[in-house]
Structure 1
Amino acid sequence: MKALLEVLGLLALVQGGMGLLHEFAGWDIGFVRQIGFLDGVEVYASIALVVLACALFAVAERRRPD
């Protein structure tokens, strides 16, 4: 379970970072920009993914190894 949380946290961190790079650097990367209902709030969704990643890493750290 700990490894799964870490993998999900890594995916959320990477996607959030790529979404921020898309918004601020103009790079054409990331999954957040492809979701239709997030038009106009991509920055907030990317920040939320980074925060979610931090929370997943914290939960994974508190769990004992399986």
Structure 2
Amino acid sequence: MKKILEVAGFVLFVAGASGLVHEVTGWMPKFFGFLQLLPFLRGHEIYMNIVLAVVGVALMAASDRFPRRV
């Protein structure tokens, strides 16, 4: 469970950070481009990417609560 949360958190953080850099500078590719297909998220891309990055950090922090199994 710990590894799954760490990987999911890392993927969400990278997706949010790269989307934020793309929205601000137009430089990096977006990893979760399919999220823009949702009509209620149009116009809120910066906020959506910030939320993705924060949720990713929260998942990585929450993974420390689970013991590592051998």
With normalisation by structure 1, the TM-score equals: 0.87
Aligned pairs (5 A) from 1:1-66: 1-27=1-27, 29-34=29-34, 35-36=36-37, 37=39, 38-66=41-69
Structure 1 gap segments, 5+ residues each: none
Deviations 1:13-57 (A, max 9, x none): 110011101111112511344422221101010000111011101
Aligned residue type for 1:3:
K
Structure 2 gap segments, 5+ residues each: none
Kept in 2: contact 1:32–1:45 (CA 8 A): no
Identical residues among aligned pairs (%):
39
Superposition RMSD in Å: 1.4
With normalisation by structure 2, the TM-score equals: 0.82
